[in-house]
């Protein structure tokens, strides 16, 4: 993984822009906005994807694979932290003296003339950001935005609006969210993660506090999450809290889980109820955070909740892809133990009497090593687990760290099946499923690409 050079001055004018690693949700979102502003955009990524296809339809020239010949002669190069330092396009751009800026610097520049709402947290960011964006649009605003996933109701993850608000999902993984000129920050939770980068929980808490204290107007933060409570002690800016705690500014109560989660929100002397399109108590909490952000912006409480409740979800968040012989095949982005637990609890409310079969792909060697026991505990909420090997992403392999670490911590080994080969994994999941069951592929790597294979395996079976 490269260490971005944040001392690199951001050009006043981007000109022609080349994105190295353009397929990611954040990178492709920035590229889309620049195309809309009239910039010439090129890029490269390791594999084709729906994001790449969408950019090509907008006129961008995107290469698959990384090679010096793909660089061309851009005025600015935008990179992601997930690149290897040996990336040939990155190295050639540096050699040529072309400004190479991190995606967070590009996004900060784009948002610099607007009122920035930045949503951060170990999980829940994409859904919470999407809720804020869709509610703002419904209430007559025209915000600019860059989200971490496609918002189903608008069909894209980013847009350049005419309004004064700019809403972004802010990435805490490498500290780059400190570069934003944030007006209002929403912190969904501060569960320990990315400790390979920060080194300690205390350092992880401190960077969130630093992010919050840069907020010029307001901090919206969970009242329930243990890490958020620690961070709140370090915040000197005005705060609004949300959650089930009795002293929360926007309090959630009477949560009822079914195929669609329902709940009440209490704000000042007002009580209002809602039923989301989504499942899971975690989404009731996400909705509370979105509403707290909207009332912090000055919007009406009941109107905010009404529009947040209409949120239709985002890509890769418990998303149904198809059915074969009565078995539904879903996909979910969850990749941290807390996220996995929340996703499985939500899925359980939808499954009913059927079996829940999770095909799980661990993400990162460091995360798997640190949380193998916790992953085993939360995956046990499934009826059956098919375990893949680790998606390395930006990390080098660690000796002795494989998916088997999770397997070895599983309490009932009869319900977990280690299948690092994808053909074996899809066949195993299909063989375990009967009509009325759900199969969920889970992880933030490339496990979603298994969905067609699973549907085909079910069809053959």
Catalytically annotated residues: 125-126, 169
Contact 361, 445 (CB under 8 A): yes
Alpha-carbon distances, residue 345 vs 378, 379, 410 (angstroms): 10, 10, 18
* 432: its two tokens: 């375990």
Strands (E), 38-180: 41-45, 61-64, 76-79, 100-102, 115-120, 144-151, 156-159, 165-169
* 212: its two tokens: 């919050």
> CB 257: neighbour CB atoms within 10 A?
18
Burial of 158 (0-12, 13-18, 19+ CB in 10 A): buried
Rg for the chain, CA atoms, rounded:
22
Give DSSP secondary structure letters for 202-247: HHHHHHHHHHHHT-SSEEEEESS-HHHHHHHTT--S-EEEEESSTT
Contact 277, 292 (CB under 8 A): no
Question: Is residue 321 classed as helix, strand or coil in its secondary structure?
Answer: strand
- In the chain, what is the straight-line distance between the N-terminal and C-terminal CA atoms, in Å? 42
Q: What's the CA angle centered on 426, arms 421 and 427, to 5 degrees?
A: 100
d(CA 5, CA 384): 45
> CB 396: neighbour CB atoms within 10 A?
8
Of the CA atoms within 13 Å of residue 183, those in its CB half-sphere come to 16
């Amino acid at each position: 993984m490269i260490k971005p050079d944040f001392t690199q001055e951001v050009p006043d004018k981007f000109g022609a822009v080349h994105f190295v690693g353009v397929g990611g949700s954040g990178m492709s979102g920035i590229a889309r906005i620049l195309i809309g502003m009239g910039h010439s955009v090129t890029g490269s990524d390791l594999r084709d994807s729906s994001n790449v296809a969408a950019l090509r339809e907008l006129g961008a020239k995107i290469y698959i694979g990384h090679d010096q010949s793909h660089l061309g002669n851009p005025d600015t190069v935008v990179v992601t932290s997930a690149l290897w330092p040996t990336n040939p396009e990155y190295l050639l751009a540096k050699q040529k003296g072309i400004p190479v800026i991190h995606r967070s610097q590009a996004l900060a520049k784009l948002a610099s003339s607007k009122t920035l709402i930045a949503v951060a947290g170990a999980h829940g960011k994409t859904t919470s950001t999407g809720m804020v964006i869709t509610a703002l649009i419904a209430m007559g605003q025209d915000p600019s935005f860059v989200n971490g996933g496609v918002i189903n109701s608008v069909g894209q993850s980013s847009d350049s609006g005419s309004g004064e608000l700019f809403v972004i999902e802010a990435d805490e993984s490498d500290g780059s969210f400190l570069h934003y000129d944030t007006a209002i920050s929403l912190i969904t939770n501060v569960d320990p993660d990315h400790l390979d980068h920060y080194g300690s929980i205390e350092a992880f808490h401190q960077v969130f506090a630093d992010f919050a204290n840069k907020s010029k107007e307001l901090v919206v933060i969970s009242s329930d999450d243990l890490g958020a409570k620690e961070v709140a002690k370090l915040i000197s800016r005005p705060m609004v809290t949300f959650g089930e705690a009795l002293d929360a500014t926007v309090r959630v109560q009477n949560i009822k889980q079914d195929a669609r989660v329902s709940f009440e929100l209490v704000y000042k002397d007002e009580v209002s109820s809602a039923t989301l399109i989504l499942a899971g108590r975690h989404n009731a909490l996400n909705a509370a955070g979105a509403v707290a952000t909207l009332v912090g912006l000055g919007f009406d409480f009941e109107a905010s909740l009404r529009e947040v409740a209409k949120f239709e979800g985002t890509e890769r968040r418990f998303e149904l892809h198809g059915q074969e012989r009565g078995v539904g095949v879903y996909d979910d982005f969850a990749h941290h133990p807390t996220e996995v637990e929340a996703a499985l609890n939500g899925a359980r409310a939808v499954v009913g009497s059927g079996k829940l079969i999770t095909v799980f792909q661990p993400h990162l060697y460091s995360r798997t090593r640190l949380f193998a026991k916790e992953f085993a505990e939360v995956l046990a909420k499934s009826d059956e687990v098919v375990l893949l090997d680790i998606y390395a992403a930006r990390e080098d392999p660690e000796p002795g760290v494989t998916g088997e670490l999770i397997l070895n911590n599983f309490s009932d080994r009869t319900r977990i099946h280690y299948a690092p080969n994808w053909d074996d994994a899809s066949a195993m999941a299909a063989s375990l499923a009967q009509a009325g069951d759900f199969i969920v592929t889970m992880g933030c790597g490339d496990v979603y690409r298994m969905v067609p294979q699973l549907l085909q395996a079910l069809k053959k079976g």
